[in-house]
Amino acid sequence: HYMSAGETFLSGRLHNFRTPLYPLIYHFAKVVAGGAAGHIVVILQILLFMLSIFAFYRSCCFLVQSRKIVFIASLLYAIHPGIILWNQFIITESFAISGAVILFYFVVEFYKKQRVWSAVAIPVTILALIALRPSSIYFTPALALFTLYMLVKRRKYAWTLFSGLIISAIAVAGYCFKFY
C-alpha cells in the first residue's frame, strides 16, 4: 500500500487506506534508492529516533531536577526494545513515537523561551503527525489549551503559535473534506 499510495498522492488523488506522509516518504526513498527504498526509510526512522533521544533528554532536564532520574529515564527510552524493533520495519509507529517526543520537546522549548522557531515548529510537527497517523489529532486539544494559556499570559509569539494551529486545523479540515 505504501508504494502505490505515494504515487496516488503525487497524482493529486487521495488513497483510501493511507494518510499522505509515510507513503510520500517511502515514494521519495524509492525515487532516490530504487529497490533499497525500505532500507532508506529504516535509516530515516533510526535517525529520527536518535534525534528524539536528545529531545527526550532535554525535556526531562526541564521537568526533573535529579540528573540521575533524567539519565535513567532517557536510557530507558533509548533502549526500549519495542521502539528499537519498530525502527526496523516499514510501519508508522516509529515516526509517530519519535515525532510525539519531538513535539513535546518543542512545547517545552516554547514554554521555556518563547522563540519564533518553536512557535512555528509546534504546528508544523502536529500537522506532520496527523498526516502520518490520524490518531495524532488527539494532541490538538492539549495544544489548543497550551496556546490559550500562552495567549492569556501574553507570551511572546503566542499569536504565531495560535495562527499556526489554526492553519493546521484548516489543512486537516480541508483534507477531511476532500476525502469525504
Q: What SS3 class is residue 18?
A: coil
**Burial status of residue 13 (CB atoms within 10 A of its CB: 0-12, 13-18, 19 or more):** exposed
Mean pLDDT of 9-18: 76
Q: How confident is the model at residue 129 (pLDDT cuts 50, 70, 90)?
A: very high
- Which amino acid is located at 20 in the chain? P
Mean pLDDT of 27-46: 92
Whether the pLDDT of residue 45 is over 90: the answer is yes
Q: In this structure, are residues 1 and 166 in contact, taking their beta carbons and an 8 Å threshold? A: no
Q: Kindly report the average pLDDT of the chain as a whole number.
A: 89
pTM metric for this prediction? 0.89
Of the chain, the percentage scoring pLDDT greater than 90 comes to: 43
User: What pLDDT does residue 36 have?
Assistant: 92
Whether the pLDDT of residue 1 is over 90: the answer is no
Q: Which helix (H) or strand (E) holds 133?
A: none
